[in-house]
Amino acid sequence: RKEVEQDPGPFNVPEGATVAFNCTYSNSASQSFFWYRQDCRKEPKLLMSVYSSGNEDGRFTAQLNRASQYISLLIRDSKLSDSATYLCVVNKGGGSYIPTFGRGTSLIVHP
């Protein structure tokens, strides 16, 4: 099993749609989880941290399921500007703070 696994997509959705991405991780000792977005040939930018109880930031909701070792990102009311690659990032844990990146899920929002 890959350390951090994501469906590469692309997810092709119309404006206003709700879309959800999942990410699974293999190390049960992982303690920190993040979603980043990356535009083509640009740096990753933090979208949101993922907390155990789940958290919301505007149109974005992140959830963590430790038992099944996955995190999710829900985007409501998609905008054209949401088109990007969404990177799941999981810190290794177990004494290591090194983040492991997934390959990303590509989202295309069309008019």
**Residues near other proteins (CB under 8 A):** 31-32, 34, 38, 41-46, 49, 87, 91, 96-104
Based on CB atoms, which residue is closest to other proteins, 39 or 77? 39
Instruction: State the amino acid at position 72 in one-letter form.
Output: S
Based on CB atoms, which residue is closest to other proteins, 78 or 107? 107
| Spatial distance between the Cα atoms of 72 and 89, rounded to a whole number of angstroms | 11
Closest distance of CB 38 from other proteins, Å: 8
Based on CB atoms, which residue is closest to other proteins, 18 or 96? 96
Which strands sit side by side in the sheet containing 60-65, from one edge to the other? Answer: 4-6, 19-25, 70-75, 60-65, 55-57
